[in-house]
Amino acid sequence: MGSAVAEALAVSGASVALLDRDADQLAVVAKELTEAGRRATAFPVDVTSSEEVDAVVEEVEDLLGPVDRLVNAAGVLRTGRIDRFTDEDWQTTFAVNTSGVFHVSRAVVRRMMPRRRGALVTIASNAAGTARMEMAAYAASKAAVSTFTKCLGLESAEYGIRCNVVAPGSTSTPMLTSLWSEEAAARASIEGVPEAFRVGIPLGRVARPRDVANAVLFLLSDEAAHITMQHLTVDGGAALGA
């Protein structure tokens, strides 16, 4: 999803700063975009470290100029029943999915406030509002950042900064296919898993990363100039409108 959002922003003409701790994959994405004539620069960073985040955001602004738009897309998925879930898996999930969003958002919004402009989108999940078997940590971390982003939107509104949430459902990414084989993951997502109390996808297909990117792009754009503190679900109806 992060790559798709980066590509969509770059195609729209933005100069994109790519942040991730996987330096090798980050370099691949940056190379693909620059070879296509887009502007993209890789900045390896571990978002769980507030010190690293503060330093890299300063570096981004020094090299590329003021950050006007931010997308929080980094995330991890650790699955398992609650009674068997490890402390390490719980802590890692929240360190990336929740604290990472806090660190990056704080560092960027601090700089946006004096400029009195900016737009931010956090990619959460439809699991934030729908209970899922063996996904308690992931769902809880996404519920936390959804509410955090809305609170940030409330606090920063007086500075002209908009903060919104995009909540994808099952999307064709390595995170989804890590649960099953690609074919099995798609089939289970579309048809549902009754024994896990999970409904399917009414629209009958798994989302493409570009579907999520399009929603993010809209909320960052001037077309959404009067939209803030909102939660846009992109899941083909899987959460039944919840």
Catalytic residue list: 138
Where does residue 240 fall: left (phi above 0), alpha (psi -120 to 50 degrees), or beta otherwise?
A: left
Cα separation, 122 vs 71, whole angstroms: 6
Six-digit token string for 93: 């999930």
**Number of DSSP helices (H) and strands (E) in the chain, helices first:** 9, 6
φ, ψ dihedrals at 67, nearest 5°: -85, 120
Task: Kindly give, in sequence order, each residue whose CB lies less than 8 Å from that of residue 221, ignoring residues fewer than 6 positions away.
Answer: none
Q: Are 50 and 103 in contact (CB under 8 A)?
A: yes
Closest CA to 161 of 233, 101, 109: 109
